[in-house]
Structure 1
Amino acid sequence: MTPHIDLPLLHRLLGLPERETPRALLRAARAAARTLPHLVLSLAERDGLPLGTGSTDELRRARVRAETYRRFLGLVQAEAGVRVMKGPQLAQRYPADLLRPAGDLDLVAADEARLWLAARAVLAVRQVEDIDLTVFQHSGHRDVVIALAWPSEDPLLDRGYKIEISTMAFPGDGGAVPIRAALPADPWLADLLALAEERHQRDFHAKDVLDVLVLAGDAPPGETVAAAAAGLYLAPELAELLDYAAGFASLGPLAPTLERLRAPAAAELARRARWHPAEAGAADSVADRLATGRPVYGMPLRQVSGREDWPVAELREVAGSTVLATPVADLLLVTGELVDPEQFTSVLRALGEST
C-alpha cells in the first residue's frame, strides 16, 4: 500500500498553515532537513506547479544523486555482498513520481574483509576527495566505519556525495546502548529500525515521518516488530518515532506496534538507568581508547595500491604513533580533531622512507 503524500501533508509536517505558498513550504523544508526540498520540488512538479530554471536544475541534480547512489549500490553488492540501510531500498517504496531525498549512501558489511572489498570497488571507479575512518574495539572484536566522499556537481549549493560502509549496523549511543553489528534479515525491519537508531544522533523530523508512512502499509504483526526492536535495544526510540508520526497521519497496519512497544520501551529505559560506564584509563591515548571501547579516528596519510590480497587492516606503530594500514589507505589513528602537525609530518615521512 503506497501512502498518499501531498502538499497538505507536507504543510502539516512542517508546521505551516495550508494557505502558505509553495515557496514558503520550500523554505520550511530547507530549514527542516538539507535534502527534504528535493521531495517538495518533485511533489510540486507532480502537481503541475510551475518550476523555474533554478528549481528544475536542483531537482535534476537530486535525481542524478539518487541514480548515482543506485549505481554504486549495485556495484558494491556485486563485488562485496554488502547490504544497504534505507536509501535506495526505502526510496522504492515511495510513489514513482516522488523523489525520496538522498543525502548519503549507508552500507553494512558482514565483516571487515567485505568492507574493504566494497571500499576498493568504489575507489576503482571514483576518485574521492576525503576518506574518514572510525575504529571501535570491543569484546575482542574490531568494528570499522569508512566514509568515502567527493564533491557534488554544484558544491556551493549541494552537499557532497558520501558513501559510508560499516561493519556495524547500529552504533548505539556510546554508553548504555551498545554496538549491534548485524542488520535484521528482513529488509523492512532493517529500514524501520535504522530510522529509530537515528534518534541517537538527532531529533526526528518530517522526512522520518514520510519514511514511516511508506513502510506502514506492509507492516508485519506488531509483536514481531516490537520483539525485534526490544532485541536491538531500540524499543524507546521506535516508540518515540511512531508516536511522532502518528501525530501527522494514520499509521495503518503499523498502529498496533505502538501499543506493543510500551512495555519493552519502559523495560529498556529502566535497564539504561541501571547502567554504569566502565572506568576509563588514566590516559586518553589511542591504545587506551581502544582498550576501553571508545572510538578512535583515522586521518588519511596516503592511499595505497598493491594490497589486493589483504583481507583486513593492520595496526602498526610508526614514528611513535599508531597507524592503521588498510587495503586501500594508511591512516593515522587519533583521539580528536586536533593533531600536532609535526606528528603527522613525521609519520608521513617515516612511511615514505619505509616504502
Structure 2
Amino acid sequence: MSTDTVTVPHVTAPEITLDLLFGLLDCDPSDGLAKLVHNARVAHYTLPALVLSVLENEGVDLGITAGAELRRARHRAARYAGVLADLPDDGEVVPLKGPSLAQLYPPGVLRSQGDVDLLARDESRLWQTVTRLAADESSQIWVTVMGVEPAWNVLVTMVWQADEPIVEHEYRVELTTAALLGDFDRVRVRTTLPTDPVLAALVCLTEEGLQRPFHPRDALDLYVLQPRLPAAADIAAVVEEFHLAPELLELGRYTSRVLPQCDVAELMRVLAEPARRELDRRENLPAAVAPVELRDVVRCGQPAQGLLLRRRIRTDLATARTHWSGDQAVLHTPVGDYLLVAGKLVAEEDFESALAVLHTCDESAAC
C-alpha cells in the first residue's frame, strides 16, 4: 500500500459526446438542449459545466449566460489546480480521486470538481499544508478527529466563499490523514490506497457509495477508467480487501443501466461472490452501541467535531493536542482552538466553559 501520487497512465480517452449525454441524463434529443442542461443540474451540481463543455467542443454557440457559467467553472478548476501546484513535490501531501480522474476525460471536456481532497502522509504534514492555506484568513476551517491521540486520524475542511456566491458553490479543500474514512460503522477507516494508480482511483470512486447514491458523473468516471482497468479478478481482490465489493457492484449495475457504452459485465459477474461475502461480514458484526459521551466517542474512533473557539496560528504546535477538563476537551491545533463535541448541539454554558479553559491556559501557558 502507498500514499504516492495517484497518476493514471495515459490511454486514449473514450469519447464523451452529446448523444452519449442525452442517454446518460435520460433526455430525448427532441427535448432540446435546455432540457439536457436542466437534467444535468438536477442530477448533480457539477454536471452542467461538463455538458456545456461538450456542447462547446461540438461547436454549439453557448450564448452569453451559458458561456459565462462555463467560464466560471473553468476558473474554479484553475483555482483548484493552483492549490495542487502549490503542494510540495515530495509526495507527502497528494490529491485523491478528482484530479486523477479529470485527466482521463477527453480534451476540452471539463470534469468540474466540487472540492479537492488531499491525503497527508502524517498529521504534521497535514497541518503544515493547512497553515499555508490558512494565510488567506477568509477561509473557514472545520476540524474532525477520529480516535485517541496520537494515533488518531484527522480531517480538516477548509471553505472559501465563491466569487459569485449567489450562483456558485463555495470552494472547499479537505485534508485528511486517512485515505478512506468508511462509514464509521461496518466499514472501518483505511489509511492507505492501492499502489496501482488506476485501482487507487477506482477505490476512491467506489468509496463514495458508502456516503451517497451514485449519480451520472460517477458513471462517467467509471466509463473513462474502464479502458485502463486490470483484469476483473484483480479488481475484485483489491475491492474485497478494502471492503468495497458491494459498492463497486452497485456502481457497475448503475453504470450499465444509465451508460451501456461502458461494458463492465465481466467485472459484475466476478464481483458477485466477493460482494456477498462482504455483506455477510457486515451483517455478522456485533451490533454497535452508539457512544454518547465524548470520551466514549473518542475511544471508539467515532468522529468528534471541533467547534471553533478562536483562530490562532500556533508555531509551537506541529500536531493537534487535546486538553481535558472533566468531561470537556479543548483541541489545540496549529491554526486555532476548538471545543470537541460528540453531537450536533452544544449548550451555551459548555461553550462559555471552554472559553474559560482557554483563558486559564493563556494565563498559565500550560496548554
The answer, yes or no, to whether TM exceeds 0.5 is: yes
Query: What is the distance in 1 between the residues matched to 2:173 and 2:320?
Result: 19
In structure 2, the partner of 1:49 is 60
Alignment pair present for 1:351 and 2:362 = no
1:272-310: CA deviations, max 9, x gaps?
Answer: 1111234455xx221121122221101111222242x53
Please list, as runs of the form range in 1=range in 2, the aligned pairs for 1:137-152 lying within 5 A after superposition.
137=147, 141-152=151-162
Shift of 1:350: 3.8
**Regions of 4+ moved over 6 Å:** none
Alignment pair present for 1:172 and 2:179 = no
Shift of 1:21: 0.8
Q: Secondary structure at the match of 1:102?
A: coil
In structure 2, the partner of 1:212 is 222
In structure 1, the partner of 2:334 is 327
Shift of 1:344: 1.8
Aligned with residue 312 of structure 1, among 319, 325, 328: 319
Gaps of 5+ in 1: none
Please list, as runs of the form range in 1=range in 2, the aligned pairs for 1:69-218 lying within 5 A after superposition.
69-78=80-89, 81-124=92-135, 126-137=136-147, 141-218=151-228
1:160-209: CA deviations, max 9, x gaps?
Answer: 00000111111112211111111222221111111111111111110001
TM-score, scaled relative to structure 2? 0.90
In structure 1, the partner of 2:269 is 259
Relative to 1, partners in 2 of residues 1:103 and 1:197: Cα closer, same or farther, differing over 3 Å?
same
Q: Secondary structure at the match of 2:340?
A: strand
TM-score, scaled relative to structure 1? 0.92
Alignment pair present for 1:268 and 2:278 = yes
Relative to 1, partners in 2 of residues 1:305 and 1:32: Cα closer, same or farther, differing over 3 Å?
same
Q: CA RMSD in A?
A: 2.0
Query: What is the distance in 1 between the residues matched to 2:178 and 2:314?
Result: 27
Query: What is the distance in 1 between the residues matched to 2:150 and 2:251?
Result: 33
Is the 8 Å Cα contact of residues 75 and 121 (structure 1) preserved in structure 2? Answer: no
Relative to 1, partners in 2 of residues 1:50 and 1:84: Cα closer, same or farther, differing over 3 Å?
same
Shift of 1:25: 0.7
1:72-123: CA deviations, max 9, x gaps?
Answer: 1122344772121122221111111110021010111122122112212212
In structure 2, the partner of 1:294 is 302
Count residues with an aligned counterpart: 350
Is the 8 Å Cα contact of residues 101 and 221 (structure 2) preserved in structure 1? Answer: yes
Query: What is the distance in 1 between the residues matched to 2:122 and 2:287?
Result: 27
Is the 8 Å Cα contact of residues 113 and 312 (structure 1) preserved in structure 2? Answer: yes
| Matched AA of 2:303 | P
1:232-272: CA deviations, max 9, x gaps?
Answer: 000110111112112223335x5533222121111111111
| Matched AA of 2:201 | D
Identity %: 38
Please list, as runs of the form range in 1=range in 2, the aligned pairs for 1:221-232 lying within 5 A after superposition.
221-232=231-242
Query: What is the distance in 2 between the residues matched to 1:222 and 1:77?
Result: 35
Query: What is the distance in 1 between the residues matched to 2:105 and 2:302?
Result: 38
Q: Which moved more, 1:11-20 or 1:38-47?
A: 11-20
Shift of 1:311: 2.6
Shift of 1:222: 1.6
Is the 8 Å Cα contact of residues 318 and 351 (structure 1) preserved in structure 2? Answer: no
Relative to 1, partners in 2 of residues 1:320 and 1:335: Cα closer, same or farther, differing over 3 Å?
closer
